[in-house]
Structure 1
Amino acid sequence: MTKKYTRFAEFYPFYLSEHSNRTCRQLHFVGSSLVLSTIVLALVTGNAMWLLAAPVCGYGFAWIGHFMFEKNRPASFKQPLFSFMGDWVMYWQLLTGKISFQPA
């Protein structure tokens, strides 16, 4: 990524293009689901230690997807805020069926 994006609307199509591998998208989805699960566990049990697992799950699954399957560097290395936002927009769109796990 050489361009520095200033608007999320411009960044998101690039973000999706960096997630064109089905397994990478699946790993992002699993990681994000586990992040939500660790937050719920922390709230339900009152044990904040569960929150330590959230970034490990989120970034761990995503980075495995990028390095092993997508064969690129995560956009979070250059634009962390937009990348974080993109993770959750993509998660919601995958969950609701707006986009597919199998990119076109």
Structure 2
Amino acid sequence: MSAFPSFRDFYPFYLNEHRDRRCRLMHFIGSSLVLLIVAYALFSGRLVWLWLAPVAGYGFAWIGHFVFEKNRPATFHHPLYSLMGDWVMYWHVLRGKVKI
């Protein structure tokens, strides 16, 4: 059972785990690469490229956590909420609500 009854309760914790702007930047780069890889794979018909999407997304995010944030990614304890948090934070960065 999650310690968070809803994503709304989880998201402030998620943002607190991403205080370092460099970590947020690494997340943004990884998420952007995921979108580009998925788009390329779908539009080119080369679906074999899809294996790179989680490598790019998690790879950049985890580097941000281990190198800059010095904490463990929330993915290890809250995988679904963490994935949701990645995309909400991505959208918030695009809209200027979260700074990188």
RMSD value, Cα: 0.9
Give the structure 2 partner of residue 61 of structure 1. Answer: 60
1:94 paired to 2:93: yes
Alpha-carbon distance in structure 1 between the residues aligned to 2:80 and 2:5: 11
TM-score, length-scaled by structure 1: 0.93
Give the structure 2 partner of residue 15 of structure 1. Answer: 14
Aligned runs of 1:20-99 on 2, under 5 Å?
A: 20-99=19-98
Alpha-carbon distance in structure 1 between the residues aligned to 2:60 and 2:68: 11
Following TM superposition, where does structure 1 have runs of at least 4 consecutive aligned residues deviating by more than 4 angstroms?
Answer: none
Once the two structures are superposed, residues 37-65 of structure 1 have per-residue CA deviations (whole angstroms, 9 ceiling, x without a partner) of 00000111101111000000000000000
For 1:32, give the aligned amino acid.
S
Alpha-carbon distance in structure 2 between the residues aligned to 1:48 and 1:66: 29
Alpha-carbon distance in structure 1 between the residues aligned to 2:31 and 2:67: 18
State the identity as a percent. 61
